[in-house]
Amino acid sequence: MSETGSMVDHAGMPASRHGPLDGLSLPGQTDFSVSRAVHAARFILRGESIHVSAFGPEVPDRLRASTAGSRAALWLGPDEFLLLAPGEDAEAIRNTLKPSLPAASTALVDVSHRQIGLTLEGRLAARCLSAGCPLDLGLASFPIGMATRTIYLKTEIVLWRQGDARFHVEVWRSFAPYLVGHLADALRGTNGL
Amino acid sequence: MLLIRCPYCEMDRPELEFRYGGEAHVARPPDPMATTDEEWAEYLYFRSNPRGLHAERWRHIHGCGRFFNCIRDTVSDRITLTYKAGEARPTLDKGAA
């Protein structure tokens, strides 16, 4: 999914937008592939956990994600949740979810353009992530459905295990080439083993 | 690498996810206008700096983002226990560390 497109800037001149990974070659092997995730709308919800249910998915447990259809809610902290949805839902979330929340005790912030979502798939996905992430990514200690904010070398990421060999990673867009470059390096370091 | 137990995540997490936040339980004088310069300087600048068990603040900044408190031995670097911000400092048996 590319963000490149033609637009017009404030002065009416043609302008173009480049996605953070445009022009980079992403690992695409069966053993390990990196691709843009389907979720393009993302919000941070601060406040009581009960307000997550207005978004769709049920309230996620500590260090877990919950999903409902194409929407997902990730527990980041006791009062902080990352809400993911397809790009076309962004407008509806801004227009319906935001007004339904108590303004004094909650905050819903659109961070769609702050970070990007990546899907990491394949037999070697956990090993490549382990090259930079200090958490134990074994299935016993990082089971399917677990989600947390953590770090990969020098960049902060949100890591969500969607399957045995499938991860969703959120990274700030300016750090995305750094992350993807290191993951490609890590893949070479595994020698396919 | 140290593994530090975050009392909010209820999980041992790698040290790299944390930031140190100075001594814990340093209470701000309730009425700054009524304090002397010496009392204010004592609050701002002077810390206990013990040799042994030390109560200190840490923040799980690359995790849940929460501040919490921890008892760490400044000699061995061993973290005896962590507890949520706002909870009273636990009384520790010296032998337990």
The torsion angles phi and psi of A127, rounded to 5 degrees, stand at -65, -40
What pLDDT was estimated at residue A117?
96
Say if A134 is an interface residue toward chain B (CB within 8 Å): yes
CB B4 within 8 A of CB B70: yes
The torsion angles phi and psi of A66, rounded to 5 degrees, stand at -130, 145
**Helix ranges restricted to H, A86-165:** 90-92, 98-100, 125-130
Average pLDDT of the segment spanning B74-80: 95
Average pLDDT of the segment spanning B68-86: 95
Number of residues assigned to chain B? 97
What pLDDT was estimated at residue A123?
96
The C-alpha of A15 sits at a distance from chain B's nearest C-alpha, in angstroms, of 36
Domain count, chain A: 1
Query: By three-state DSSP, how is residue B31 classified?
Result: coil
Say if A49 is an interface residue toward chain B (CB within 8 Å): no
At residue B97 the predicted structure's pLDDT band, cuts being 50, 70 and 90, is very low
Beta strands in B1-74 (DSSP E): 3-6, 11-14, 19-23, 53-59, 67-73
In a domain, A179, yes or no: yes
pTM: 0.89
What pLDDT was estimated at residue A173?
94
A139-187 confidence digits (pLDDT tens): 999 999 999 999 999 999 999 999 999 999 999 999 999 999 999 999 9
Residue A132, pLDDT > 70, answer yes
In a domain, A8, yes or no: no
Q: Which tokens hold the place of A22?
A: 């445009």
In a domain, A3, yes or no: no
Residue B88, pLDDT > 50, answer yes
CATH code, domain with A161: 3.30.1360.120
CB A82 within 8 A of CB A39: no
**Residue pointed to by tokens 């989600």:** A147
Weakest-pLDDT range from A8-17, B13-22, B43-52: A8-17
Distance CA A71, CA A40 (A): 11
In a domain, A180, yes or no: yes
Burial label, B28 (beta-carbon count in 10 A; 0-12, 13-18, 19+): exposed
CATH code, domain with B23: 3.30.2270.10
Sequence-distant (≥ 6) Cβ neighbours of residue A157 within 8 angstroms: A133, A149, A150, A151, A169, A170, A171, A179
Distance CA A109, CA A58 (A): 19
Q: B-chain residues within 8 Å CB-CB of A150?
A: 13, 17, 62-63
Q: Domain containing A71: what range? A: 24-190
